[in-house]
A and B are shown apart, each in its own frame.
Chain A
Amino acid sequence: MPKGFFTDTSICIGCKACEVACKQWNQLPEDGFFFSGMSYDNTMQLDASTWRHVSFIERPVALSGQDAGAFSWLMSSDVCKHCQRAGCLENCPTGAIIRTEFDTVYVQPDICNGCGYCVVGCPFGVINRREEDGRAWKCTLCYDRLTDGMTPACAKACPTASIQFGELEDLHRDAHARVERLQAAGVKEAYLYGVDKDNQPGTEGLNAFFLLLDQPEVYNLPPDPVVPTKKAAESWRAMFYTALGAAAVAMAAVIATRGERAR
């Protein structure tokens, strides 16, 4: 049964319990301690050893329905999207990246040889190669916990149910209902990002999708992501015709040497 995350950013309080729970459960190493100066976000990005990342957006405008002056704060817990058409998986030349029985995308650490092609294949900048380790790492959607019938660590730790885990079908239903409720309550900005193929044709839908309150760019999400492989057929065709041309030129160049004049 397809499983996924529905991250409802309208109720994220920026506590970073998900980040901590993820690091703890997966025993991920620290990635350096420093002060970023980016609001409360000192994590800054998803990376090989950061599989949940809470972003903090300070806006000089209010959310509709708020009357606290020209300010609003958006928080969002970002994660690997476990795309239906996953750039990382389709680019992986070793078969290390697989789709699991839960319809999630998983990197097998015992196969990965660190070629780095998944890194540039991901439209969301999620997966990365860890320098000292040499392999690519990303969120596993707690594959180990799922096999034991447990909830992923981040969703378990989230105190506001901003991160919801479950069957994709149920999540879709809940998410649409949630948008309707928010709209009815006057939060006119609410919409779903990447919920299905119609919503995001380039990835054909994300198993980890989001409810957002502003344009995707604000959360550092691409507005119209596309899995690179969708364009590969055209590239191959272009290569094929150029190769035909090159072969013809090579033949012509050699045929031109057959006359006696060249002596």
Chain B
Amino acid sequence: MSDGRNIDSRLGTLSGEGSQQRGATEVVPWKALDTSGYGVPGDRTYYDRPVIKKSVWSWDIPAYYYVGGATGSAMALGAAATLINRDRLSRLVLQSRVVGLAGSMVSAYFLVHDLGRPERFLNMMRVFRPTSPMSVGAWILFFFSGSAGVAAISQLGPRWIRRIGDASAVISGVFGLGLSGYTGVLVSNTTVPVWQRPHRLMPALFLSSGVSGAASVFDLLGGNPREQRAVLLFGTAGKLAELSFAYLMERSVATVPEAARPLEDGLSGFLWKASKVLTAASLLIALVPNSSARVRRISGVLGSLGSLCTRFGVHYAGQRSAMNPRATFQQQRGGQGAYAVTGRAAVTGPGDARAVLE
């Protein structure tokens, strides 16, 4: 190939692996050399630079945790009502299906919007990868939205279609619990210190926060006295569980104080504390006997805010925790790395010296 010069112009074509990336001009702020604490294992860092990357997720993702959680649990209560006391709880059943349909659409919006390449969102459906909670979750959301959609739309049809809708609602309720809880598995299946440590408590916290969020949505929508009673029981259990799991999670993270800091101060600490105050307030207000519709709505608002703050608090705590190399180092030196899982720590020095003394 020649354009008159003695040069092969094909040599100028950018075709390397990374050539599709464009240049950046963002300047990363520099940090002064930190010479403090030299020689103490677990307190030595590389110029205080983060050792892991923080997530690239924007607020879409914690918002999705909330919406998906509340929607899924709402559908679960709706499914129970469909199964057991369909006729007397008809308003709650209808509400749950509308919430299920709307919530799954909002959830899908948040998830697609946060992708780096939103037009490729369908690639999530090209494989099922059980090792990836995100893959499992994508399929849960897929089946949940499908069945919730059928459950909602069938309400407009004749009797036999409504029957199909009822069956679909029950299926959707089962997937709903998955939708409510898998996000807890998703965040703890990472290397972020404050997320990875409470890996057994996080799914429980997220699921109970979903239950509390769902009850709050029903409180806002209102219903007859029977429905209110069901919602009150459901919500009370959810809020109590949310508060207990939040307490346990905080305690488990606090075994390494450096890792617990994001739950104590700053924006993430504020959100985390606010979530507990709001949830507790909502719980107490809901328990006022013979309360008016207005009081129940206030409880619903507080409960929703509490559930939102739980997810945003966990999200932002993780972002800060990832930027702190000491949190990772001290957790792993304290036996909360591979040692906790495999019973054997990695080699970190000559003579088979291990990261954790055995």
Tell me the A residues contacting B by CB distance below 8 Å. 25-32, 34-39, 41, 44-45, 48-49, 51, 55, 57-61, 87, 90-96, 109, 111-117, 119-137, 140, 143-144, 179, 183, 188-194, 198-203, 215-226, 228-232, 234-239, 241-243, 245-247, 249-258, 262-263
Complexed CA–CA distance, A126 and B356 (Å): 24
Tell me, in angstroms, the Cα distance from A220 to B325 when the chains sit together: 8
The interface residues of chain B lying within 8 Å CB-to-CB of A225 are 191, 332, 337-338, 346
Given contacts A45-B50, A92-B135, A217-B46, 7 further A-B contacts (CB under 8 A): A26-B16, A111-B123, A189-B349, A201-B346, A225-B346, A243-B181, A253-B231
B347→A133 contact, CB < 8 A:
no
- State which of B98-106, B203-211, B261-269, B280-288 sits at the interface with chain A: B203-211
From known contacts A29-B18, A239-B204, infer whether A250 and B188 are also in contact, taking CB-CB under 8 Å.
no
Question: A10 CA to B77 CA in the complex, in Å?
Answer: 63
- Once the chains are docked, how many angstroms separate the CA of A93 from the CA of B28? 30
Residues on the A chain within 8 Å of B345, using CB: 201, 223-224
Q: Note all chain A residues with C-beta closer than 8 A to B322.
A: 120
Residues of A within 8 A of B127 (CB): 93-95
Chain A, Cβ-Cβ closest to B125: A94
Docked Cα-Cα span, A32 to B186, in Å, equals 33
B51 interface residue per 8 A CB criterion: yes
Chain B residues with CB under 8 Å of A221's CB are 51
Cα distance A258–B231 in the bound complex, in angstroms? 14
By a CB distance below 8 angstroms, the chain A residues around B225 are: 262-263
Report how far A41 CA is from B48 CA in the complex, Å.
Answer: 13
Nearest-CB residue, chain A, relative to B210: A246
**B8 interface residue (CB < 8 Å to A):** no
A232 proximity list for chain B (CB < 8 A): 131, 133, 185, 189, 199
> How many B residues, CB 8 Å from partner?
126
Which B residue sits closest to A127, measured CB to CB? B53
Can you sample 24 A-B contacts with CB below 8 Å?
A26-B17, A27-B15, A28-B21, A29-B23, A32-B28, A37-B31, A38-B31, A91-B189, A94-B135, A112-B123, A119-B55, A120-B191, A133-B22, A215-B44, A217-B325, A222-B52, A231-B199, A232-B131, A242-B181, A246-B73, A246-B177, A247-B76, A253-B233, A254-B83
Partner of B76, one of A124, A224, A246: A246
Residues of B within 8 A of A188 (CB): 350
Nearest 6 pairs between A and B by C-beta? A114-B116, A202-B338, A134-B116, A224-B337, A27-B16, A220-B46
List chain A residues, Cβ under 8 A from B353.
191
- Which residues in B have their C-beta under 8 angstroms from that of A252? 233
**Pick the contact of B44 from A116, A122, A218 — CB < 8 Å?**
A218
A121–B190 Cα distance when bound, in Å, is 5
Is B57 interfacial (CB-CB < 8 Å)?
A: yes
Residue in A closest to B42 when the chains form the complex, CB atoms = A217
C-beta contact mask, B171-187 vs A, less than 8 Å → 1, else 0? 00110011011101110
Task: Output the nearest chain A residue to B318 by Cβ-Cβ distance.
Answer: A120
Distance of B274 from chain A, by nearest CB (Å) = 23
Interface presence of B108 (CB below 8 A)? no
Residues of B within 8 A of A245 (CB): 241
**Which listed residue (B25, B83, B238, B332) contacts A224, Cβ 8 A?**
B332
Q: Is the CB of B341 within 8 A of A115?
A: no
Q: Are B181 and A218 in contact (CB under 8 A)?
A: no
* A32 CB to nearest chain B CB (Å): 5
Residues 8-48 of chain B, each 1 if its beta carbon lies under 8 Å from chain A, else 0:
00000011111111111111101111010011011011110
The answer to whether A44 touches B191, judged by C-beta atoms less than 8 angstroms apart, is no
Chain A, Cβ-Cβ closest to B19: A27
Decide yes or no whether B260 CB sits under 8 A from chain A: no
A134 near B22: Cβ-Cβ < 8 Å: no
A117-B132, A235-B188 are contacts. A189–B350 as well, Cβ < 8 Å? yes
Contact status of A133 and B35, CB under 8 A, knowing A27-B16, A122-B53, A220-B51: no
How many Å lie between the Cα of A214 and that of B138 in the bound state? 43
Interface readout for B160-178 with A: 1 if CB under 8 Å, 0 if not?
Answer: 0000000000000110011
B199 touches A235 (CB 8 A): yes
Contacting pair A238 B201 (CB below 8 A): yes
Q: Does B342 belong to the interface (CB within 8 Å)?
A: yes
Q: Is A246 within 8 A of B134, CB to CB? A: no
Most buried by A among B138, B192, B338: B338
Q: Are B23 and A133 in contact (CB under 8 A)?
A: no
Q: Which chain A residue lies CB-closest to B204? A: A242
